[in-house]
Structure formats: C-alpha cells, structure tokens
Amino acid sequence: MTTELSRRQRLTIGVLLVALGAGVSLAIHFHPQQLMAPAWVAYAAAGSFALAGAALIAGAYEAKKLVSWLGVLIVMALLVPFLWVALGPGAHECGFSLGFISGVAPDLLCRVGFGLGALLGLFVLVLIIRQPLEPWRRRRRSTISRFG
C-alpha cells in the first residue's frame, strides 16, 4: 500500500528540509572548527537536504523535469562525502559496528568501505541521469535516423 503525500504535505516537508539545509549550512559557517572534513564536503552534505526539499516543492507543482534534475543533484551531493573519504588526502578514521563489536576502523578499511558506497552511488547516478536526458536522446536518435 503506497501513501501519496498531499500537495500541502509536500510543500510543508519541502520547506522544512530547505530550512534544515540552510540551518546546517549556517552551523558549518559559524563553527567550522567542529568539522572533521573540509567545509565544502559538509556543505555538499547539507545541500542534499535543501535539494530534497526543493524536489518536494517542485513535485508539489508537478514540475517533473525539474524534479528529475534535482534528483541527479541530490545523488551528486550525497556522493561528495563518500568520494572524499575514499579518495581525499590525509588519513581518515571512521567508526564501525557489527552487532556487539564496534570501534574505530583504520584508514584503509574506511577508504574501502566508503569507496564501495561511492561506487554504488555512482551506479545510481548513472541510472537516474538517464531519465532527464531521455528527451534529448530521443531527439538525437530521430535526427541521426533522418540524416544517417
């Protein structure tokens, strides 16, 4: 059973998510010393909340093309922290938990884990970017078939 959000609910949640993204961005700006990553990585993660809110707002007004492109941007924003941990400079530590065992993982394990997450995210990005590009691909195919 799927429950469709009403237009008002989408707008309300969308505005709250945009505000959350803005609030987190302000916290990053005013307290950068609390970060364990470069500010641009944190801003990308915070931006994913605002982009998700914008997608809900655009969906409430049935702007399907905009929602598709916002979805692409959301996945890209979520990829930034994964790619930074996997490929960024310096040593990275991350916590892990496997049932009753938890602790701090060494750099290599963090990079491998986040690298696998980044590969999964890139796969999702390739899948979802096809939707907003489809009208362009259709036009290109019809042009090539007329002249080819």
- Of residues 91 and 82, the one with the higher pLDDT is 82
Q: pLDDT class for 41, splitting at 50, 70, 90?
A: very high
- In angstroms, the CA 114 to CA 81 distance is 9
Question: What is this structure's pTM?
Answer: 0.84
DSSP 4: P
- 146 pLDDT more than 80: no
Asked if the model's pLDDT at residue 148 lies above 70, the reply is no
Interatomic CA distance for residues 15 and 9, integer angstroms = 10
Work out the number of other CB atoms within 10 angstroms of the CB of residue 85: 21
CA distance 13 to 7: 10
> And the tokens for 55?
């997608």
Task: State mean pLDDT over 21-30.
Answer: 97
Q: What is the pLDDT of residues 119-143, one digit of tens each?
A: 999 999 999 999 888 877 777 666 6
